[in-house]
Amino acid sequence: MRHGKKVNHLGRKAAHRKAMLANMACSLIEHKRINTTVAKAKALKQFVEPLITRSKAENNLTADKGTHNRRIVFKYLRDKYAVTELFSVVSEKVADRPGGYTRIIKLGNRLGDNADMAMIELVDFNELYNAGKPKKKSTRRSRRGGSSATDKAEAVVEETKVEEPKVEAAPEAKTETESESQTENKAKEDDSKE
């Protein structure tokens, strides 16, 4: 029985599954987003996020730690170009993020076999989502008295009152008279033609 075993085997033997996840992780690091099934995307997320955490600069402060982490990541990815990209480009972008480096977006079903499809992407490399939000460094602070901020907000709201434009009923009556005059003119033209 498989009670409590949370690993999704994805219908593959262990060696095939590890090779597939390594290849998908290398593709994700290279292209920053890939399309796959939802189950594979969830398995890939669990596989690649600890590797991204190992690549961050704060975990590689000394030369010994940096070399050790590169070797551990290489053991999983088996691709030196992906490891170089991960430790140089990706780690700089995700330096401020305390986890949750990937995002899974469901896309619908595949035409051939109706499998649930998803796009998995690196969060910091999506320029559309990040364009509207200014970057700010998150700091953990205790709560302070916020009464002065709420008083200022209420004062601003009171100062800016919006005047509603008045709607006039006269144009509606004008359109009715115009349409009546147009029908009368058409009737006169028809009479003159006959």
> In the predicted model, is pLDDT for residue 3 greater than 80?
yes
> In the predicted model, is pLDDT for residue 93 greater than 80?
yes
Q: What are the Cα distances from residue 111, in Å, to 55, 114, 141?
A: 37, 6, 50
Q: Which of the four pLDDT bands, split at 50, 70 and 90, describes residue 127? A: confident
Rounded to the nearest integer, the mean pLDDT of the chain is 83
- Domains contained in the chain, number: 1
Answer whether residue 73 is part of any domain: yes
Q: Strand 33-37 relative to strand 102-109: parallel, antiparallel, unpaired?
A: unpaired
The encoded tokens of residue 193 equal 């033609």
Answer whether residue 163 is part of any domain: no
Answer whether residue 174 is part of any domain: no
Give the pLDDT confidence score for residue 149 in this predicted structure: 55
| 125 secondary structure, DSSP code | G
> In the predicted model, is pLDDT for residue 56 greater than 80?
yes
Choice between 168 and 112, residue whose per-residue pLDDT is larger? 112
Q: Which CATH number do you get for residue 59?
A: 3.90.1030.10
Range of the domain at 46: 14-130
* Composition of the chain by helix, strand, coil, percent to 5: 60, 10, 30
Answer whether residue 152 is part of any domain: no
- What is the mean pLDDT of the segment spanning 71-81? 97
> In the predicted model, is pLDDT for residue 134 greater than 60?
yes
Answer whether residue 83 is part of any domain: yes
Answer whether residue 162 is part of any domain: no
DSSP sequence for 59-102: G--SHHHHHHHHHHHHHHH--HHHHHHIIIIIHHHTTT--S--E
> In the predicted model, is pLDDT for residue 183 greater than 80?
no
Answer whether residue 62 is part of any domain: yes
Residue tagged 């910091």 (tokens): 124
pTM: 0.67
Answer whether residue 173 is part of any domain: no
